[in-house]
Amino acid sequence: MTTRLVHTRAELRGALSNRPGEVGVVMTMGALHEGHRRLIRVARRRCEVIVVTVFLNPLQFAPGEDLSRYPKTLPDDVELCAAENVDLVFAPSVDEVYPLGDQPQVRVQAGPLGDVLEGRSRPGHFDGVLTVVAKLLHLTAPDVAYFGQKDAQQLLLIRRMAQDLDFPVEVVAVPTVRDDDGLALSSRNTYLGPADREVALALSRALRAGADAAPSGPESVRRAAHEVLAAQPGVGVDYLALVDPGNLRDVPEDFAGEALLAVAARVGTTRLIDNVLVELGA
């Protein structure tokens, strides 16, 4: 199988005009890694046609964030896709996605779910995410879209958008992929030098400590995770939250069921996020 690389809407339409079965899409900003590879492999189990989008979306970056230095590795990305038998890589330019300018007047608004956690730290971020996801869903017209659990808030918002706006697509979550040392895979991990990477491992250690404390209740979960982060010099915690994964509200002490333990922190100049699902009240 040959992986086809296309850059324009017209090329994309032509490539998908005679699709033989279900189409699955994996949306990325490039700099593909083993986490993306896992998404592709999960998609391949079900779908006859796999589309990977590679687009660095300016709408979801605020001034001063890392848009300009975000790794751009399209030849390597296409090579990874070819190794995984991806049918089509859609790598459009900014002008192709936003032909009237990269500040479109009409956008998708994330609403209250986009104002907490990541949204509180990065105002407007999820409006940019949902706007480009909506456009790419229209352009690729998939039956199934695959997203990683590591971006839990993004996943929830995309699911809610698909439901609220009647997108004819099934949104499938794929568990977070981690390196052997526990660090969640992210394209931004390339920013970490050896010393910073060692510091960054405190995030996954904190989440494991919190999960281990789950039988003792929400306060124990929060305390155990906080203690790990506080003991590690060089970690600037943005937030550590234990929330209901369906509405992102802090869980009360008598909460029973699945909860999301999420963390965001800076290590050096790199901002990282991670999360785990924990079972409370078992």
Residues designated as active site: 36
Q: What does the alpha-carbon distance between residue 185 and residue 183 come to, in Å, rounded to a whole number?
A: 6
CA distances from 246 to 159, 193, 217 (A): 11, 36, 19
Close Cβ partners of 102 (under 8 Å, ≥ 6 residues apart): 58, 59, 94
109-126 CB burial, b ≥16 within 10 A, e <16: ebeebbebbbbeebebbb
Please provide the DSSP assignment of 198-231 as one string.
HHHHHHHHHHHHHHHTGGG-HHHHHHHHHHHHHT
Q: What does the alpha-carbon distance between residue 56 and residue 77 come to, in Å, rounded to a whole number?
A: 13
Environment class of residue 104 by beta-carbon count within 10 Å: exposed (0-12), middle (13-18) or buried (19+)? middle
Strand partners for 26:
52, 146
15 secondary structure, DSSP code: H
Q: What does the alpha-carbon distance between residue 163 and residue 144 come to, in Å, rounded to a whole number?
A: 14
At which residue do the structure tokens 């004819």 appear?
A: 168
Amino acid present at 134: A
Q: Answer yes or no: are the C-beta atoms of 32 and 3 closer than 8 Å.
A: no
Q: What does the alpha-carbon distance between residue 139 and residue 141 come to, in Å, rounded to a whole number?
A: 6
